Amino acid sequence: DAAEKGGYEHFMLKEMNEEPKTVRDTLNPRIVENDVVIEELGMSDEEIREIKQIRIVACGSAYHTGVTASYVFEEMARIPVAVEVASEFRYRNPILNPTDLVIIVSQSGETADSLAALRLCKEQGIQTLGIVNVVGSSIAREADRVMYTWAGPEISVATTKAYSAQLIALYLLSIKFADVKGLLAKEEKKELINDLKKLPDQIELLLHNKENIQKFATRYIAAKDVFFIGRGIDYAISLEGSLKLKEISYIHSEAYAAGELKHGTISLIEEGTLVAAVITQQHLYQKTISNMVEVKSRGAFVLAVTNEGNTEVEKAADYVIYVPETSHYFTNSLAIIPLQLFSYYVSVGKGCDVDKPRNLAKSVTVE
């Protein structure tokens, strides 16, 4: 066991440290001479242009990569995206069209609800694409097409590196689709690809900062409730930050679209409640800052995760974690790292079984 953990105390920490490599391995084979080449997609440009709607169906953290991708695809490739948890999708007789592309995202490739959703689409002749980590798994075998995330085996129940790899696969697809549709200027495409290439080193840098986050996390091991807020892609990041924390630390946490706070959640803020604000989308800075001010004035302790240079948040935050500069589309890949570390250290601090949290399974193969 100790040997398998490669000197790390837990698989989760080992797997977080593998994130730079995972991102590189998922990215590099699909970048050829500054172009995105996804051979396994096997779709002609004509076929790509015929896609009128993308549906992303998944569970848990994989669903959260879908939420992120819905913002990315819609803005970058101007294709409408509907994203749904598989357990809902499969039972509501969804209205599917031959011009839909259904993307099933799954680390294990064996999640019962995701597999059932895939089969439902196939029965109706809708084209499916699996974004899968486990080679030869059921979803990988049954989907019309499969794009592998090259994360290698993931042991910790709480996903980290597979999640990061899923994001990369979805970004690549979005760039490909936008490019085929003629929506990316040459320069813009070059910049996006350059930003993708920088991600592994930037993730590495964030992982190096773990002592600060560990210190911060020890202050919250007794927390009762934690709230995560954000807008747009930052909301998607909040969903995953919140899930990570509750999964492994058993602290109640919730993610809210920051603009929804005033419709209920704000009544839960007490003196000292931790609110983690994810604030990486420049066009939404002011909006989220005003939500931070609202919770801070009601006694919340505000942690902000934001882009380097956005020092303005300091007026509304008690503690700030800066992430390196990248395209606004890709900030999830960076902002999630400190949130994963935070959850990890809270869980360790509480003495929880980090890699095998109670009641949870790595892969939910029964309903």
**Which residues in the 25-64 window bind ligand G6P by CB under 6 A?**
59-62
Q: Is 111 in the site for ligand G6P (CB under 6 A)?
A: yes
> Nearest distance from residue 196's CB to ligand G6P, in Å?
22
Q: What is the dihedral of CA 168, 158, 306, 218, to 10 degrees?
A: -160
When binding is defined by CB under 6 A, the residue of 159, 238, 307, 326 that contacts ligand G6P is 159
Give the CA distances from residue 263 to residues 257, 258, 289, in Å, rounded to whole numbers and listed in that order: 11, 10, 17
Q: Is 114 in the site for ligand G6P (CB under 6 A)?
A: yes
Spatial contact of 138 and 109, defined as CB atoms under 8 Å apart = yes
Helix runs in 75-185, H state only: 86-89, 112-123, 138-142, 161-180
Spatial contact of 31 and 196, defined as CB atoms under 8 Å apart = yes
Q: Is 363 in the site for ligand G6P (CB under 6 A)?
A: yes
Stretch of 103-111, 144-152, 221-229, 339-347 contacting ligand G6P, by CB under 6 A: 103-111
Stretch of 225-233, 285-293, 343-351, 359-367 contacting ligand G6P, by CB under 6 A: 359-367
Q: Is 107 in the site for ligand G6P (CB under 6 A)?
A: yes
Spatial contact of 15 and 156, defined as CB atoms under 8 Å apart = yes
Which of 213, 272, 270 shows the shortest CA–CA distance to 244?
213
The H helix count followed by the E strand count for the chain is: 13, 12
Percentage helix, strand, coil for the chain under 3-state DSSP, each rounded to 5:
50, 15, 30
Considering beta carbons, is residue 53 or 363 the nearer one to ligand G6P?
363
Inter-helix orientation angle 60-72/233-249, to 10°? 170
> Nearest distance from residue 142's CB to ligand G6P, in Å?
14
When binding is defined by CB under 6 A, the residue of 97, 222, 360, 365 that contacts ligand G6P is 360
The phi-psi region of residue 10 (left if phi > 0; otherwise alpha if psi is between -120 and 50; otherwise beta) is: beta
> Nearest distance from residue 182's CB to ligand G6P, in Å?
33
Spatial contact of 111 and 365, defined as CB atoms under 8 Å apart = yes
What are the structure tokens assigned to 32, written together?
């050829």
* 271: Cα within 13 Å, side-chain hemisphere: 0
Considering beta carbons, is residue 108 or 273 the nearer one to ligand G6P?
108
Residue 52 designated active-site: no
Select which of 122, 189, 356, 362 is catalytic: 362
Q: Is 343 in the site for ligand G6P (CB under 6 A)?
A: no
When binding is defined by CB under 6 A, the residue of 157, 284, 335, 341 that contacts ligand G6P is 157
Residue of minimal Cβ distance to ligand G6P: 60
What are the structure tokens assigned to 326, written together?
């990248």
Considering beta carbons, is residue 293 or 364 the nearer one to ligand G6P?
364
Number of amino acids touching ligand G6P (CB under 6 A) = 16
> Nearest distance from residue 258's CB to ligand G6P, in Å?
24
When binding is defined by CB under 6 A, the residue of 106, 202, 291, 347 that contacts ligand G6P is 106
Considering beta carbons, is residue 222 or 360 the nearer one to ligand G6P?
360
**146 DSSP β-pair partners:** 130
Stretch of 39-47, 104-112, 183-191, 337-345 contacting ligand G6P, by CB under 6 A: 104-112
Spatial contact of 339 and 209, defined as CB atoms under 8 Å apart = no
| Residues with catalytic roles | 362
Contact footprint for ligand G6P (CB under 6 A): 59-62, 106-108, 111, 114, 157-159, 360, 362-364
